[in-house]
Amino acid sequence: MDLAYLRAHPAHLPTFLTHQRIRETPVSGGDICAASRLTLDDGHSVFAKTWPEHAGRPVPEGFFAAEAAGLRWLREAGAVPLPEVIVALPDLLALDWVQPGEPGPEAAERFGRELAALHRAGAPSFGAEWPGYIGALPQDNTPDTGPWSAWFARRRLIPYLRRSVAGGALTPTETALVEEIVDRVGEFGGDEPPARIHGDLWPGNVLWGADERAWLVDPAAHGGHRETDLAQLALFGGTPFLDRILASYQEVWPLADGWQARVPLHQLHLLLVHTALFGASYRDAVGRAARSALAGLGRATVDR
């Protein structure tokens, strides 16, 4: 099987894999999927993701279709490089292989400019035209005209707060803090029209390529707030050269006043996703972000 054949017959890929007709090398695929590098007969490499057999349940309906739709939609902007979707099946996703490299300051500055261009491509509404996922959890992408703050509370905070509470990941203290943010979300300011965002842009979803560019992978793409992507880049230790990314971004499309104070608000979505998925190990991070967000409003609810 070469690349041309694979493009013409994508549904044949599982059969070739089952009968070991393609060289397959396991690679890191994150916390959710099993991943491998497939080497085709013409020497071309493909990155394949499958739902792991040990997951204990079947692949969620539309899981890989959501990622494929998001990748294609983000690629339409012609801004940040993203891998091309080669095969999108209900239980398998295959993408063009991106050769990993090392981060560098010039690549970071270029990434900042390209990310601004991606965001500026915009979206027709908040949400998206396809059902969404973030990690293994569903994400409500019902198109919504906003305003952003009300949409963010309703679609991106409340659902994962409820899941986290139901799973015992949060105590009443963190729950009350997040609920106060939901009640006061309109006070944070910074509402903007929908940007075209990656939606799950923690540092692990930035792939520094051998071509000295930063590639985006594993999106939860939708129309959202551009500050969300930028805030997520600072999570979990932060992406390399974040200061240069932000500086070059600002040169292309300056951020609204007060954006620094809103960073923990935007981070709260992904942190709640983590408590919903992985439990109480992320509880303290949710509490810190919520307290920081409320402190930015200038009222000392942080002593709870």
**99-103: long-range contacts (C-beta < 8 A, 24 or more apart)?**
99/209, 99/210, 99/211, 100/207, 100/208, 100/209, 100/210, 101/208, 101/209, 101/210, 101/211, 101/212, 102/208, 103/208, 103/214, 103/239, 103/240, 103/241
Residue type, 226: R
Q: Which residue out of 200, 211, 218, 257 is catalytically annotated?
A: 200
Q: Using CA atoms, how far apart are residues 228 and 194, in angstroms rounded to an integer? A: 11
Q: CA nearest 186: which of 145, 222, 151, 161?
A: 151
* Residue 257 annotated to the active site: no
User: What percentage of the chain's residues is helix, strand, coil (to nearest 5)?
Assistant: 45, 15, 35
Q: Where are the alpha helices (DSSP H) in the chain?
A: 3-8, 13-18, 63-75, 105-120, 148-152, 158-166, 172-183, 226-232, 242-252, 259-278, 283-295
In our burial notation (b when 16+ CB lie closer than 10 A, e otherwise), range 50-70 reads bbeeeeeeebbebbbbbbbbb
User: Cα-atom radius of gyration of the chain, to the nearest Å?
Assistant: 20
Catalytic residue positions, numbered: 200
